[in-house]
Amino acid sequence: MELFEAIKTRRSIRRFKDQDVEDEKILKIMEAVRNAPSWANLQCWHFVVVRDKQLREKISELTYVKSFFEPLGYKVNPAQKGIKEAPVVVVACADPAKSGNLWNQPYYMTDMGIASENLMLAAHALGLGTVFVGVFDEEELKKLLGIPENIRVVGLFPIGYPATEKKEGPPRKPVNEFVYSDKWGTPIK
């Protein structure tokens, strides 16, 4: 798939077919992650590939964080069901000590954001679907998967064959609303 086409047509996929995902495809996705740029090339990332059904079910439950979702009127995390359905859930972790921290700006989140987009685009290019799941009970998740104290969990990615076809994504701002010419606030033509 051509790069701009992949960027444009990637969508958050939250429902999956009852169909396994080949190990080679997961490795190919991880190869795309491996090629991501990172602070001083320190590659602060670690990924746990979860296939175990019971673990996926527990992970799914941990994505409903009541204190976050209840005030919004949500009874579930919109991605919750998909985490149970998808044959694979990738847990993206970072070692903050292996990235930059410049003027109180922790760059491990930047590194992980870039790696995550590589992951999502690679999955899409392979005909798979995924979604960045950023809301979860980190402490419980770390206990469940034996993730060390000093490591942060940054996101979860259910990966599977999409059960839904999404042509249009949620609306995006037009470019001239957020890109300026020479000085802040002067819209680009």
**Comparing C-alpha atoms, which of 38, 59, 30, 170 is closest to residue 113?**
38
Amino acid at 107: Y
Q: List 158's β-bridge partners, or say none.
A: 89
Evaluate the CA torsion angle 81, 9, 111, 28 in order and state its sign.
positive
Amino acid at 171: P
Residue 132 vs 186, nearer CB to ligand FMN: 132
Residue 127 vs 187, nearer CB to ligand FMN: 127
Residue 50 vs 135, nearer CB to ligand FMN: 135
Q: How far is the CB of 74 from ligand FMN (least distance, A)?
A: 9
Question: Burial of 20 by CB count in 10 Å (0-12 exposed, 13-18 middle, 19+ buried)?
Answer: exposed
Residue 73 vs 170, nearer CB to ligand FMN: 170
**Comparing C-alpha atoms, which of 36, 35, 44, 155 is closest to residue 99?**
44
Residue closest to ligand FMN, measured at CB? 134
- Give the footprint of ligand FMN on this chain (CB under 6 A): 11-12, 14, 77-79, 131-135, 169-170
